[in-house]
Every structure is written in C-alpha cells, then in structure tokens.
A and B are shown apart, each in its own frame.
Chain A
Amino acid sequence: MNYQFDFSFLWDPDNSYWRDILHGTWLTVELTLLAIVLGFTLGAACAIGSTSRMPALRRAIAVYVEVIRNTPLLVQTFWLFFGLASIGFKFSAFTAAVIALTVNIAAYTSEIIRSGIESVRKGQIEAAESLGLSRMQLLFDVVLPPAIERVLPSLSGQFVLMMLATSIMAQISTEELMAAASRIQSETFRGFEIYIVVAVVYLALTVALRFAFALLAWAAFPRRRRLGTPV
C-alpha cells in the first residue's frame, strides 16, 4: 500500500469540480429543508388526523403510514419518477425527489408526533375542554406544544436520517451532492478522495442540522430554556 492522496482535481482549472460539489451540496440542503418543512406539515396533519373521530380517516392514514414505512425509499422514488411517468405523469427529477422525500418523511413524522400526542395526559385534555376550548384550540394550545417538545429529539434524529437519504435521489439524476460526486468520480477516477470529501460534507451538514434543531428548541420552548427539564 503506497497510496498517494491527491485532491488537486477539485481545483482543476478546466473543470472546477469544487463548484459542482458546492452546487450539489446546495441542492442537498434545498431538498432537505423543503422535505422537512413539507414533511413536518403533512406528518403533523396525519398525526392529528389519526386522533380524529372519523374511523375512515384514521384507517386511511394508518394504511399510508404503514405502506411508506415498510417499503424502501428507493422503490417509492422510482415508482413516483419512472412508474408515474409511464402512465403520463411526468415530474422533473427535483420535483419527484421533493415529493418522494416529503411523502416518506411525513409517514415517520406522523408516527413520532402521534406518540407525542398520546403522551399528553387525558386530564389536561379534560381540563381544556372544561374551560370551553374548542377542539382546534385544545390541539394547538394544549396538546401539540408539549407533544412536540417531547418528541423533538426523535424528530430531529429522523430528519437527519432523511437528510442522509437525499443521497438516494442521485438514482433519479437529481444533481445533489451524491450525484455530483459520482459524476466527478467517473471523470477523475479519484473515488477514494471524492467520497471522503462527500462524507465530510454530509457530516458537516448533519452537525449544522442538529445545531439548527437545538436552536429551534431553545427558541420555541421557553419552559425548557428556563428550567432545563423535560416537559
């Protein structure tokens, strides 16, 4: 073994691969943020729906959650991008990636938030009902804040996993970080170096994402900020 590390291709004046990596990183960030915002919204809606009084709605959500959580993201993505295209519904790779990630993460988010909702003691709900709060007020003022505070660690962990899973979107030619790396690899044959670079970038993104979640928790939960105890 006498391997000579060579990262100089990154600054190759003819190709400037570092720009491709930067561009890919940006796309990964975009995909992640979009999927987190949309997936959280859809997932929270599903979690709320799964506590509804309509059995049909509860069942529909349960089926959705189970189907998504028990099939590979790659299969879901291919079905969306190639499957639907074959019957006439065509998306751009980026759109398909956002939809696939959103639909996927929302199923997990729904289950996590539902467990948070179920952790809210029945007595608090009775107290809120007795005070005359409507169902929506009860949900947004009494149930969701402690529910989400409790499950935030699980949620942020799930979102980090999803951020890493955006690399799967390279398979439908979304030009994110992983796709950029593969292309550079095939042009430079510097696989050893390029995937180290990519791993470091993912690691940095993970750290940044976790930090962002910690910041969000600090801003959103004043009780925890003051007391530092779990709700």
Chain B
Amino acid sequence: MTLHATAPAPAVEPAAAAPAVRFNAVHKSFGTLEVLKGISFAVGRGEVVCLIGRSGSGKSTALRCINGLERITTGSIDVCGHVVSPDGRADLHAVRKRVGIVFQSYNLFPHLTVEQNITLAPRRVKKTAPAEARAIAADVLAKVGLSDKRDSYPEQLSGGQQQRVAIARALAMQPEVMLFDEVTSALDPELTGEVLKVMEDLARGGMTMVLVTHEMAFASRVADKIIFMHQGRVHEAGPRDMLSRPETPELRQFVGTGL
C-alpha cells in the first residue's frame, strides 16, 4: 500500500502522455559517413526541445529524419502514434500531416502570394474548401503578426517576415509538432528577435516544438529540455539551465565559444 502511495504509476498510460516524438537508437549514414550513431531521446507533448551542437554534429540531420526528409538507416522514430522506419514510407504521409517544419532559408513558393502559400497545403492535402482555407490563413497570419501582408509576394517581404509566413504556412496544417531548423541563422539580430518572439508565443501556447538552434539565450529561456549533440551522438541532455553548468568538457567548450 505504501509503495502505491509513493509511486502512483497509472495502470494504463493515457495516450496524451505518450511522447510526441521518440528516437529509438536511430542511425543515419550518408554513404560511408555515419552522421547519427544511435541516438535516442523523447519529446513529450507540449515540450520545447532544443538541439544544439557544432556544425556537423548531426542535429539538423536528426531533425530532418523526423518527417522523413532524410531516411534513417536503422532504428525507428515514433511520431504522434506513427512510425518512421528505414524502409517504410507507408506512414510518412500521416507523419507529414501532423508535423510542420520551418527551414533556415524560408522556402516560400515565390510564384504564390502569402495567402496562397498558406492555403496551398490545406486545400490540396486536406481538401479544405477555399473559403475555409482563407479563414485559416487569416488566423495564422494574425498569430505571426502579418495580417496586412496577405496579398504580398515573398520577394516583397523582409527575411524575418518571410520566415514568419513560413511558420504560418506550417501552422495552417494544424500540426501536432513543429520542427525549426536554424530558422534565424539567416537573419540579422532585429529580424531574429521578431521571429523568436513568434516562436516563444507558440511555445507558451503549448505547441510541441523541436528546434535546431544557435540561439543559446532563447534555448535557456524557452526550452524544456536541451540536447547537446556531438559527433553524431547525444552527448549531454538536461533542463534549460544545463547550459550554465555544463558537465562534459565538450559542452563547456561549446558554450564557452558559443556565448
């Protein structure tokens, strides 16, 4: 009885408690170059997890494996109840409908207006009616503070605005998880600030987020968990104050040079 009182483990784990993303011993090689050497970690629902590390440490590759932009070599990744496996592309479509991604280079479609960029996927993939898709676009544009740019083309926007549109475009698919791949690396400090603010709002709103970032201050403020990757492995992981008291020499050196 006392055991139960101290450790009230639920008999059946509710579905909501299952992690949104879980890496299970994931390996990834490009030819003979092994970029991920068996990484395992979990991202809980509503959690913000930051992947940090040097260039070439495998963090971007790890992120891109989640929605199948890179195909893993061995292991598996559970994503919102679906499985990303080395061979199976069967679940990929289901995964991509639940996972949004934002890239360093924005990757907006240049021939489409902001609104068309946002409504394309809901209309084509979810078969949302045009009027409803436009309503969704208005909603997500308001979230990123760009309601007045609905009819602009990407080239008419600043980098920060383009990146916020890219975030809005991903949000329009109502994803359960959002991935951010160095989304502020191409921006000057002022524009970086406006993009980070949008991301922080998202995090406060309970969005599950996985970020590859060099914004250590942002990671220390917003992340629920920080994962330091080094040479294709999870080298050190911990809560957001981990950066102020690094345990391994590699992280100490990384933070020392990174700040």
Q: Which residues on A are within 8 Å of B, measured CB to CB?
A: 121, 123-124, 126-134, 137, 141-142, 145-146, 149, 221, 223, 226-227, 229, 231
Contact = CB atoms under 8 A, between A and B. Distances in A.
A129 B121 contact: no
Interface of B: 67, 69, 93, 96-97, 99-101, 103, 105, 107-113, 120-121, 124-125, 153, 155-156, 166, 169-170, 173
B29 to A, nearest CB: 20
28 contacts: A121-B107, A123-B105, A124-B108, A126-B69, A126-B103, A127-B103, A127-B107, A127-B109, A127-B169, A128-B121, A130-B101, A131-B170, A132-B96, A132-B97, A132-B125, A132-B173, A137-B125, A141-B109, A141-B120, A142-B109, A145-B111, A146-B109, A146-B110, A149-B111, A223-B113, A223-B153, A227-B156, A231-B110
Contacts of A126: 69, 103, 107
A128 B173 CA distance: 12
Contacts of A128: 109, 121
Contacts of A121: 105, 107
A1 B86 CA distance: 83
Q: Which 10 A-B pairs have the closest CB atoms?
A: A131-B121, A127-B107, A123-B107, A132-B125, A132-B96, A130-B101, A146-B111, A137-B124, A145-B111, A132-B97
Contacts of A123: 103, 105, 107
Contacts of A127: 101, 103, 107-109, 166, 169
Nearest to A140: B124
A131 B96 contact: yes
Contacts of B93: 132
A137 B124 CA distance: 7
Given A130-B170, A227-B156, 17 more contacts: A123-B107, A127-B103, A127-B108, A127-B166, A128-B109, A129-B96, A131-B121, A132-B93, A132-B96, A132-B121, A133-B121, A137-B125, A141-B109, A146-B109, A223-B153, A226-B153, A227-B153
B156 A130 contact: no
Determine which residue in A123, A127, A142, A146 has the highest number of CB atoms from chain B within 10 A of its CB, and name it: A127
B125 A131 contact: yes
Contacts of B173: 131-132
B1 to A, nearest CB: 50
